[in-house]
Amino acid sequence: MTIRGKDFYLDGKPWLPKGIKVEAFNRPLGNYESDALQKLAREARAYWGASEMDAIRNVFGGRIIRFAVSQPGLDPQSPIYSPAYRDELLKVFKQARDA
C-alpha cells in the first residue's frame, strides 16, 4: 500500500480502504470508573477474537482495522496508566496483523 497525495494505491492500482473501527479496547480495565463502565468494557472485549476478525474480512469486506485506544491509559504520566493495558493492546494488535 502506498499513498500519493491524497490517494491510496494497492499493488500500484488506486484503492479505497475499507474497514472497521473497534471500540472494545478504548479504555484500560481498572478501578477508576464505575462498575457499570467496567462491565461494558469487559463485555466489549469478550466479543473480540478470530471470529470477529473473520467477519471484518469476509462479511464486511474490510481490510483495515482502526482501534480506539486510551491515550491516558498508555501515558506513564497519567493516573490511569496501565502496563497491563499496554500489553493487552500489543497482543490484540499482533493478533490482528497475523490474521
CA 58 to chain CA mean position, Å:
18
User: What is the pTM for the complete model shown?
Assistant: 0.81
Average pLDDT over residues 84-91: 96
- In angstroms, the CA 88 to CA 83 distance is 9
- Whether 40 has a pLDDT exceeding 90, the answer reads no
- Whether 32 has a pLDDT exceeding 80, the answer reads no
82 CB-near residues (< 8 Å, 6+ apart): 28, 29, 30, 73
